[in-house]
Structure formats: C-alpha cells, structure tokens
C-alpha cells in the first residue's frame, strides 16, 4: 500500500485514481499521519440501477383539502 502526502495527491490525482482502478490502495497522509485511503469499489460492475418498484396511487393527484393546502402555502 503506497502512502502519499496531501500535496502530491492534489497534483497527481488522475495517476492515483488510475492506480486504484488497477486494484491498488493509496493512503493519503497529512505530515506523517494517515488521514484517508483511496481503494477500489468492490463489485462496481455488478451494481443494478437503484429504481424502486413503486407506483403512485391515483389519490396522490387529488386536490389537497383546504386546511392542508393552507399549511403548504404558509398560512396555517
């Protein structure tokens, strides 16, 4: 695991990301103290789109009752 200083990470981010894409882990240190780790995302290619199977009920489009409408408009 390679350790780099913050300034190096700022100026060489693209190269560090390329190394991470190859499976390497990079530790970013502030002085001698490690503060962050760049690592590959596991299963990135296996992820499905995050759509939820949900349908909006027809009542959703009904007009709001007057008292609730007043609250949404800031009058209540």
User: Which pLDDT score is estimated for 38?
Assistant: 96
Task: Please give the structure tokens belonging to residue 41.
Answer: 């995302």
The whole model's pTM is what?
A: 0.55
Across the strands, what pairs with 4? 28
Q: Report yes or no: 1 and 27 within 8 Å, Cβ to Cβ.
A: yes
Question: CATH no. for residue 10?
Answer: 3.40.1620.10
Q: Report yes or no: 26 and 20 within 8 Å, Cβ to Cβ.
A: yes
Closest CA to 2 of 20, 33, 40: 20
User: Which pLDDT score is estimated for 11?
Assistant: 97
User: Which pLDDT score is estimated for 33?
Assistant: 96
Domain that holds residue 20: 2-41+48-72
Per-residue pLDDT of the chain (76 residues; tens, 9 = 90+): 899 999 999 999 999 999 999 999 999 999 999 999 999 987 656 666 677 778 889 999 999 899 998 998 887 5
As for how many domains the chain has, the answer is: 1
User: Which pLDDT score is estimated for 48?
Assistant: 66
């Amino acid at each position: 695991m390679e350790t780099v200083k913050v300034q190096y990470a700022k100026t060489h981010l693209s190269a560090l990301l390329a190394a991470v894409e190859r499976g390497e882990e990079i530790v970013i240190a502030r002085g001698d103290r490690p503060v962050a780790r760049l690592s590959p995302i596991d299963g990135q290619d296996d992820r499905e789109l995050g759509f939820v199977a949900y349908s909006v009920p027809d009542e959703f489009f009904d007009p709001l009752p007057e008292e609730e409408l007043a609250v949404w408009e800031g009058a209540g």
